[in-house]
Amino acid sequence: MAEKLEVKELDHVVVRFSGDSGDGMQLAGNIFSTVSATVGNGISTFPDYPADIRAPQGSLTGVSGFQVHIGAGQVYTPGDMCDVLVAMNAAALKTQYKFAKPQATVIIDTDSFGAKDLEKAQFATEDYLGEMGIDPDRVVACPITTMVKECLSGSGMDNKSILKCRNMFALGLVCWLFNRELDLVSGFLRDKFAKKPQIAENNIKVVRAGYDYGHNVHASVPATYRIESKEKVKGRYMDITGNKATAYGLIAAAEKAGMKLFLGSYPITPATDILHELSKHKSCGVITVQCEDEISGCATAIGASFAGALAATSTSGPGICLKSEAINLAVIDELPLVVIDVQRGGPSTGLPTKSEQTDLLQALYGRNGESPMPVIAATSPVDCFYSVYTAAKIALEHLTPVILLTDAFVANGSAAWKLPTMDELPDITPPSRHSRAERQLYAIRARPGDTREILGRARTGRLYAYHRRTGKRRTHGCHQYRSGKSRCHVQAESRESGPYSGARSSSVWRQG
């Protein structure tokens, strides 16, 4: 035990919480990242869920994790190797230690390293630290389960509920290790459990017990750490996930265009949170429909677009396959539509909770008739807001469906975001605001004076033309002015300021 601990200043650090799916690692990680963002640190997070549906407790395939990268300034990724690893059981240590740096501090619950636990985790001996090549001096070995039971012995909670508080003890230890004030943690817990104040107070008690444990025994570590915050641009900040940023970007685009927002969606991991978030904002003119399948999700959005709303549909890779025919209808009908593809592991059903970036070719070329569409890809949770806003702008101003590619890594991760004002966002001017003569060229509103005939085949004069050359001209010319000028050249936009300044490129087709 160290008698006097040195406090080291760090520029950035990566912390990884890991345990069984029911151990509350996501909550502990979220609280720690929120507290860090509140004191002015830059953060980037990534929750790692098991692909198995309710894997056996203590098994290698059932480990859930949450990684947070904290920096004195802006950080852009959740990081690779962690500086601190919290392993709530043997399986977590076995599967997650590969993500730790050689000199990383490891926090374990020794009560979860019994003979049966080691057997489930496929350890060959009881010397699990030696077997993994872990330096015991870097390990904070604490009987977390025992101490939580003692802490809540007179609370009236049953044993199952008491064990759910183990994550708060680990959180308290990590807060001590990084010199975090517990008042912020207490406030977060009271807000989260506002309807269950006794649960909140019990969790706060356990957090303090974990903090005091580290403070009293110095937890066998040579130093604690502090991450000072660098001066940031003044403004209002919030911790936001990629999916939530996507939802907010759609709302902002609809408001800027003076339209209602419609989302037709079939729930699918990892895109469902977009539907969940938008359904909370009916007061902003948002209409959401949870459809019976992927095809109807896209079809309802097309109907809403024809009726004059900013229409969107959200899905993942398997859903894009099913939506392709309906998307083609929007292409040939020149209807604005935002198609959000939150990519996941594939092919087929694949791995719903794992991330891949393997839908690009499908997004570019996965429709019959070589129908062209703009494709945009978001680079970070914060960039999801600006990317979907740009997608909506292109769709509305150029009367075309647009695909936005994100992925589970970006969609479920979070980062600190400086909220923009509406004046800072570029204007969106749909053709319905242009002159009446120009407006009649487009079928974007189902009302008299704003409609025209859209044909699936080209025709010359009053006769339909079935010749393949004419059909080709129809496909590749469906987005041009009747005067022959190109309507489809969309330049890559750039942001002059902010943490993600610089050009953002997108794959865009062009005619003319």
Instruction: Evaluate whether residue 87 is within a structural domain.
Output: yes
Q: Which residue, of 399, 424, 449, is where some domain finishes?
A: 424
> Quick one: 221 and 283 in the same domain?
no
Residue 337 phi, psi (nearest 5): -155, 135
What the block records as the tokens of 130 is 């030696």
Q: Once rounded to an integer, what is the mean pLDDT over residues 95-120?
A: 95
Residue 448: is its pLDDT beyond 70?
Answer: no
Instruction: Evaluate whether residue 506 is within a structural domain.
Output: no
As a whole number of angstroms, the distance between CA 96 and CA 113 comes to 15
Using 50, 70 and 90 to split pLDDT, how confident is the model at 50? confident
Using 50, 70 and 90 to split pLDDT, how confident is the model at 81? very high
What tens digit of pLDDT does each residue of 170-220 get? 999 999 999 998 999 999 999 999 999 999 999 999 999 999 999 887 656
- How much is the pLDDT for 242? 96
> Quick one: 175 and 30 in the same domain?
yes
> Quick one: 187 and 323 in the same domain?
no
- How much is the pLDDT for 503? 42
Q: Which residue, of 363, 391, 424, is where some domain finishes?
A: 424
- How much is the pLDDT for 4? 63
List the CATH number of the domain containing 173: 3.40.920.10
Number of domains the chain is built from: 2
Q: Which one is predicted more confidently, 1 or 450?
A: 450
> Quick one: 70 and 161 in the same domain?
yes
- How much is the pLDDT for 346? 87
Q: Which one is predicted more confidently, 109 or 466?
A: 109
The reported pTM is 0.83
Instruction: Evaluate whether residue 489 is within a structural domain.
Output: no
Instruction: Evaluate whether residue 327 is within a structural domain.
Output: yes
Q: Which residue, of 424, 451, 468, is where some domain finishes?
A: 424
- How much is the pLDDT for 437? 46
DSSP string, 343-404: E-B-STT-BTTS-----HHHHHH-SGGG----EEE--SHHHHHHHHHHHHHHHHHHT-EEEE
What tens digit of pLDDT does each residue of 323-352 get? 999 999 999 888 999 999 999 998 888 888
Q: Once rounded to an integer, what is the mean pLDDT over residues 12-17?
A: 96
What the block records as the tokens of 257 is 């265009």
* Complete edge-to-edge strand list for the sheet that includes strand 310-315: 286-290, 261-265, 310-315, 337-343, 401-407, 375-377
List the CATH number of the domain containing 302: 3.40.50.970
Which residue type sits at 377?
A
> Quick one: 53 and 101 in the same domain?
yes
> Quick one: 340 and 209 in the same domain?
no
> Quick one: 222 and 284 in the same domain?
no
> Quick one: 82 and 174 in the same domain?
yes
What tens digit of pLDDT does each residue of 346-402 get? 888 888 888 999 999 999 999 988 888 899 999 999 999 999 999 999 999 988 999
> Quick one: 163 and 283 in the same domain?
no
Average pLDDT, the chain: 85
Instruction: Evaluate whether residue 439 is within a structural domain.
Output: no
- How much is the pLDDT for 333? 84
> Quick one: 123 and 217 in the same domain?
yes
Instruction: Evaluate whether residue 175 is within a structural domain.
Output: yes
Instruction: Evaluate whether residue 433 is within a structural domain.
Output: no
Instruction: Evaluate whether residue 450 is within a structural domain.
Output: no
> Quick one: 247 and 219 in the same domain?
no
- Structural domain boundaries, residue 97: 6-226
> Quick one: 243 and 219 in the same domain?
no
